């Protein structure tokens, strides 16, 4: 059996509403693109089987640009790169003898009573999660 | 486990244009600075816009003049109209302007955030990362690399959308550098065979070009064309 890594995302909801949380096999990852200076979206195979509209997880981080008026670089902080790099590390982190359940980001602060707590909160650079499914 | 290939477009810290006439439509930025003009229309990539006045104009050129000391993350634009003096530089908020195909069109004074331009004024944009400026693909999505001429190389990936059209990164470079681009990507694909990491293949931001393993392919332009464009990818 091939070891597979599963990537978990949850927004600040309570896991009781559509698109509050999602989990994808790492092998379903298609690519990531910066969408603005504060967001990067990760795309996965859609769940509807059509394969033609990717599911997206939009992660928000600090603005990468800083002061440019003094002639210094506007790219003082490449946090989008950090988020991508850490995602890649998590996606490749599957090891034998682990459950390979990998929390990329969990912002949920109030789980339903019948759900156990997830011990990891994921990437510290991510401040918001928006999930789109198809 | 596999590696992930990271690319980031060429972008200078800033680029300037000088007005040849009194118009609100600025001359196009240079392709060498911002990449292809067609489709370069993302205001999100512009951190700030400054205007250096050739001959002043007083308050007749700006109803609202912005003079921030820092641009971001703390936007501190003033709402007070100030007189524009000869040779002075002032700042306007990018989100109040229009940008399409590499051309800025500024609101004139009379519109909130506007500034009436004059012949000889210099408009400077400062770039940051925005829509489709940087991307990352798993190695398994790589479909191939093609030399379309001696100075242009295209790298094809399986579409993020999933239709039949590839996502394509196009590099323009000095003649004969195709092999260096192939070597960079090969090195990235096969690095860390027991691990799996994100590998920075090419990064042209900040006016500096960075190549994996110093394979200087003298890339002058990187264009990124995901299938369907951003609108098709945005969910």
Query: Which pTM was predicted?
Result: 0.86
Which chain A residue has the Cα nearest residue B231? A35
At A98, list the tokens: 């682990």
Nearest to B71 among A58, A68, A91 (CB): A68
Which chain A residue has the Cα nearest residue B67? A69
Burial pattern A41-55, b for ≥16 Cβ within 10 A else e, equals bbbbbbeeeeebbbb
A79 touches chain B (CB under 8 A): no
Nearest to B131 among A34, A45, A73 (CB): A34
Strand partners, B124: B16, B50
ipTM (interface predicted TM): 0.87
Strand, coil or helix: what is A86?
helix
- Spell out the per-residue pLDDT of chain B, length 235, in tens: 789 999 998 888 889 999 999 899 999 998 888 877 887 888 878 888 888 888 776 655 655 555 555 444 445 566 666 667 788 777 787 888 999 989 999 988 777 777 888 889 999 998 877 777 899 999 999 999 999 999 999 999 999 888 778 999 999 999 999 999 999 999 999 998 888 899 999 998 878 888 998 888 899 989 888 876 654 454 3
In total, the C-beta contacts within 8 angstroms joining chain A to chain B are 159
Strand partners, B90: B51
Record: contact A54-B162, CB cut-off 8 A: yes
pLDDT digit string, tens, across residues A35-81: 888 899 999 998 877 777 888 999 999 887 654 454 444 555 588 99
* Cβ partners under 8 Å of residue A36, min gap 6: B44, B129, B130, B131
Contacts of A46 in chain B (CB under 8 A): 162
**What is the C-alpha separation between A10 and A8, in angstroms, rounded?**
7
Contacts of B132 in chain A (CB under 8 A): 33-34
Record: contact B233-A80, CB cut-off 8 A: no
Which chain B residue has the Cα nearest residue A55? B235
| A119 and A24 Cβ atoms separated by less than 8 Å | no
Contacts of B73 in chain A (CB under 8 A): 62-63, 65-66
Record: contact B132-A91, CB cut-off 8 A: no
**What is the C-alpha separation between A62 and A37, in angstroms, rounded?**
8
Beta strands in chain B (DSSP E): 4-8, 14-18, 46-52, 89-92, 98-100, 103-105, 122-127, 134-138, 142-147, 152-157, 167-173, 198-203, 210-211, 219-225
Chain A stretch 34-53, residues whose beta carbon is closer than 8 A to a beta carbon of chain B:
34-37, 40-41, 43, 45-46, 50-53
User: Maximum Cα–Cα distance for chain A, whole Å?
Assistant: 57
- Long-range CB contacts (within 8 A, 24+) of A87-90: A87/A32, A87/A42, A87/A123, A87/B198, A88/B3, A88/B4, A88/B136, A88/B196, A88/B197, A88/B198, A89/B196, A89/B197, A89/B198, A90/A5, A90/A7
Identify the residue among B10, B41, B47 best suited for mutation to test binding to A, counting A beta carbons within 10 A and taking the highest. Answer: B47
Nearest to A67 among B71, B141, B159 (CB): B71
Which chain B residue has the Cα nearest residue A63? B73
The alpha-carbon gap from B233 to the nearest alpha carbon of chain A, in Å, equals 7
The alpha-carbon gap from A56 to the nearest alpha carbon of chain B, in Å, equals 6
Mark residue B88 as left, alpha or beta (left: phi above 0; alpha: psi -120 to 50; beta: remaining). beta
Identify the residue among A81, A95, A133, A134 best suited for mutation to test binding to B, counting B beta carbons within 10 A and taking the highest. Answer: A81
- Higher confidence at residue B71 or residue A22? A22
């Amino acid at each position: 059996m091939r070891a597979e890594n599963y990537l978990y995302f949850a927004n600040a909801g309570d896991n009781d509403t559509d698109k509050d949380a999602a989990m994808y096999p790492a092998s379903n990852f298609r690519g990531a693109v910066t969408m603005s200076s504060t967001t990067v979206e990760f795309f996965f195979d859609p769940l509807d089987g059509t394969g033609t509209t990717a599911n997206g997880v939009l992660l928000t981080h600090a603005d990468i640009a800083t002061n440019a008026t003094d002639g210094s670089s506007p790219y003082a902080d490449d946090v989008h790169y950090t988020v991508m790099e850490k995602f890649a590390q998590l996606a490749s982190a599957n090891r034998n003898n682990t459950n390979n359940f990998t929390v990329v980001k969990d912002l949920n602060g109030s789980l339903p009573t019948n759900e156990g707590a997830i011990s990891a909160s994921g990437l510290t650079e991510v401040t918001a999660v928006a999930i789109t499914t198809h | 486990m596999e590696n992930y290939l990271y690319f980031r477009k060429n972008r200078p810290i800033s680029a300037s244009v000088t007005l040849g006439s009194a118009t609100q439509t600025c001359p196009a930025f240079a392709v060498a600075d911002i990449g292809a003009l067609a489709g370069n229309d993302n205001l999100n990539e512009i951190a700030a816009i400054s205007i250096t006045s050739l001959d002043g104009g007083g308050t007749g050129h700006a109803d609202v003049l912005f003079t921030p000391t820092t641009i971001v993350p703390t936007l501190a634009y003033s709402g007070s109209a100030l007189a524009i003096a000869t040779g002075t530089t002032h700042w306007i908020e990018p989100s109040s302007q229009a940008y399409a195909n590499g051309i800025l069109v500024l609101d004139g004074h009379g519109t909130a955030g506007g500034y009436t331009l004059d012949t000889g004024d210099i408009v400077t944009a400062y770039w940051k990362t925005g829509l489709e400026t940087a991307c990352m693909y798993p190695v398994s999505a790589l479909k191939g690399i093609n030399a379309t001429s001696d100075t242009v190389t295209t790298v094809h990936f399986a579409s993020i959308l999933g239709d039949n059209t590839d996502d394509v990164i196009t590099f323009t470079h000095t003649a004969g550098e195709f092999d260096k681009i192939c070597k960079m990507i090969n090195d990235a694909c096969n690095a860390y065979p027991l691990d799996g990491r994100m590998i920075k293949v090419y990064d042209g931001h900040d006016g500096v070009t960075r190549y994996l393993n110093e394979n200087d392919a003298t890339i002058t332009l990187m264009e990124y064309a995901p299938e369907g464009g951003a609108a098709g990818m945005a969910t």
